[in-house]
Structure 1
Amino acid sequence: MKNESWSDLHLFLHVARQGGLTGAAERTGFSPATIGRRVLALEREMGRTLFTRRQTGYSLTKDGQALLEKVLAMDEAARSIAEWNEGAAEIPMVRISAGSWMSHFMAINLGHLWQPTDAFRICFKTAEARLDLSHREAEIGIRNRFPEGGNLAARPIGEVAYAPFCASHFNMVRDCNWVGIGSEDAITPSARWLLAQTDLWITIWANTPRTLHDLLRGGAGRGVLPCFVGDEDPALVRAGPPIEELRHKQWLVMHNDDRHRPEIRTLIERLAHLVDKHQPLFRGERARS
């Protein structure tokens, strides 16, 4: 039998922790179908059934529980090595987990968050899937819902509105096509919302939000964006009113044991102040006429 790769075992760990493929997909960024195939391949390679599959989720078999104990030990060792390696640097690192759009917003406003004289460094962890803050995969997360469990603390930072946008040269009278994120990569609520609109004609697909944005700017069709992205882009115009069912609160999330560390506390205050200053933009109140 071949040695199983750590990446497959790591997917197994996420499925075991989340109790199914959907939760594991949110954590890893892989689609549920991809995770299901890789877990099945792992079972075949090992010659053991690791999960009992039901409509309500995945539960570990006896062999699965035995493997979980071994993988947890491997995961702990990997984190220990990572923490040891990070400890080699004298200046602490603050990792921020956020989706593509919030990472873009922070990047263009970096001067409000960090200066070369600061006694900490920043690492942006950009992914639509949420990193596990309870297991310290990042120090700060920007989330669209209040965290449940995991010894986490959260601070509300306003609301985010969404609307359809298109290029300023797109013919909204003649053309009715849309641009969306493909089903295997549709992790965010806005991407899933568009897929659920059976009366809309999606003709172009992307697999990342940034590609979706580029396609909209190129005139490929209409697409859904956060208002703080679309309203700030002079190449785009709104193609309809805000989609109220996508409006959500936004939270800064951090591990409860770490939130008083000076560098984390400083960055949290700066992030909260930056987003608060731009609340009309985030709430969709700055649409260009």
Structure 2
Amino acid sequence: MNWDDLRVFLAVARTESLTGAGQVLRMDPATVGRRVARLEEGLGRALFARSPRGYALTDLGVRLRDHAVQAEAALDAALEEGQGEAGLTGTIRIGAPDGCANFLLPQVVARLAEENPGLDIQVLAAPRVVNLSRREADLAITVSPPKTGRLTVQRITGYRLHLATHRDWAGGDPLALPLVGYIPDMIFDAELDYLGELGRERVARASNSVAVQLQMLRQGGAAGIVHDFALPFAPELVRVLTDRLSLERAFYLVRDAADRRSDRMNRLAEVLIAGLRAEVMRLERIAAGDQP
């Protein structure tokens, strides 16, 4: 068994399909299938249970995956030692909720790219939980710490949210305005369910995207919960009822536990956490009326 075979095996294990693995490896799915079959033939046992839903690992496949992930981390570490303290290189994909992806990561990524010109950075903005086991991303930012899986979880920073409406609002009770918020049956994390704290049940204008919600509020005639760090991007909006309604949530950085052995991933995590903390603080100061 050689590393190239293990690399193909890991791609199928993470994507649970030949097509997905082929996209990751830039290889024809039929070729991926032949490589998996050859590996299984050499072992004399099946690594995957095939079904119309895809490729699921057998017990042997799970054990081999764990060993392969460790070997992958060891290889990455060896390559990093050869690079010394040079700038970060290669490709990194960061998965994040779209609020973080739209209003925080562009500034953080710009500074990271400037300091590491050999690093290619991809941001996966997803209104759902990013699947690290399938390698949808190398790092994931979440609003709740995951409770299962072999993962490393670090708290990044807290952030604040307030009720906001258009500056042209005529006055009265802003909670009587139509409410902008998430599509109720598409809320992917309990921390994003604000209705109970608003004392409301109906969302008149809804989207699964925070960025779309912000644009809805900018049209006027409605109110909704907004991240303070997003308000500098929407000068038409103002916070209201700040003495009665103030929410706080947090971001967490999540990665595969095996990545703790990787100096490159540790350095990326450290820089990303510091950058996000600084950016949340900067934008919240602006939202509160302070100078940037």
Aligned residues: 213
Mapped contact 1:131–1:138 kept (Cα < 8 A): yes
Distance 2:231 2:207 in 1: 17
Question: What displacement does 1:96 show?
Answer: 0.5
Q: For 1:189 and 1:141, how far apart are their aligned partners in 2?
A: 17
Query: Which deviates more from structure 2 when the two are superposed, residues 148-157 or residues 191-200?
Result: 191-200
Q: What TM-score do the two structures reach when normalised by structure 1?
A: 0.61
Aligned equivalents of 1:118, 1:196: Cα separation in 2: 45
Note if 1:249 corresponds to 2:233.
no
Partner of 2:183: 182
- 1:251 deviates by 1.4
What amino acid is aligned across from residue 204 of structure 2 in structure 1? T
Q: Pairwise mapping of residues 31-70 of structure 1 onto structure 2 (< 5 A)?
A: 67=51
Q: Aligned partners of 2:248, 2:283: CA distance in 1, in Å?
A: 10
Question: For residue 206 of structure 2, what is the aligned residue in structure 1?
Answer: 205
Aligned to 1:46: none
Per-residue deviation, residues 140-183 of structure 1 (Å, max 9, x unmatched): 11112223232211222121221111121223327621212222
> What is the aligned partner in structure 2 of residue 71 from structure 1?
55
Matched, 1:97 2:106: no
1:192 partnered with 2:176 = no
Distance 1:149 1:274, change over 3 A: same
Report what 1:224 is aligned to: 225
Distance 1:187 1:171 in 2: 34
Q: TM-score scaled to structure 2, two decimals? A: 0.60
Which residue of structure 2 aligns with residue 88 of structure 1? none
* Identity rate, percent: 19
Aligned residues: CA RMSD: 3.7
CA distance in 1, matches of 2:183, 2:197: 12
Shift of 1:256: 1.7
Gaps of 5+ in 2: 1-15, 17-48, 66-71, 73-88
**Unmatched 5+ stretches in structure 1:** 1-12, 14-64, 84-90
- 1:122 positional shift: 1.3
Are the structure 2 counterparts of residues 143 and 280 from structure 1 closer, same or farther at C-alpha, using a change threshold of 3 Å? same
Contact 2:95–2:126 (CA<8 Å) still a contact in 1? Answer: yes
Work out whether residues 161 and 243 of structure 1, in 8 Å CA contact, stay in contact via their aligned partners in 2. no
Counterpart residue identity of residue 121, structure 2: I
Partner residue in 2 for 1:6: none
Report SS of the residue matched to 1:95.
Answer: strand
- More helix per residue: 2
Counterparts of 1:1-289 in structure 2 under 5 Å? Answer: 67=51, 71-72=55-56, 92-104=90-102, 105-115=104-114, 117-173=116-172, 176-177=176-177, 178-189=179-190, 191-194=192-195, 197=198, 199=200, 202-230=203-231, 233-241=234-242, 243-244=245-246, 246-280=247-281, 286-288=287-289
Q: Distance in 1 between matches of 2:156 and 2:206?
A: 31
3-state DSSP class of the match of 2:165?
Answer: strand
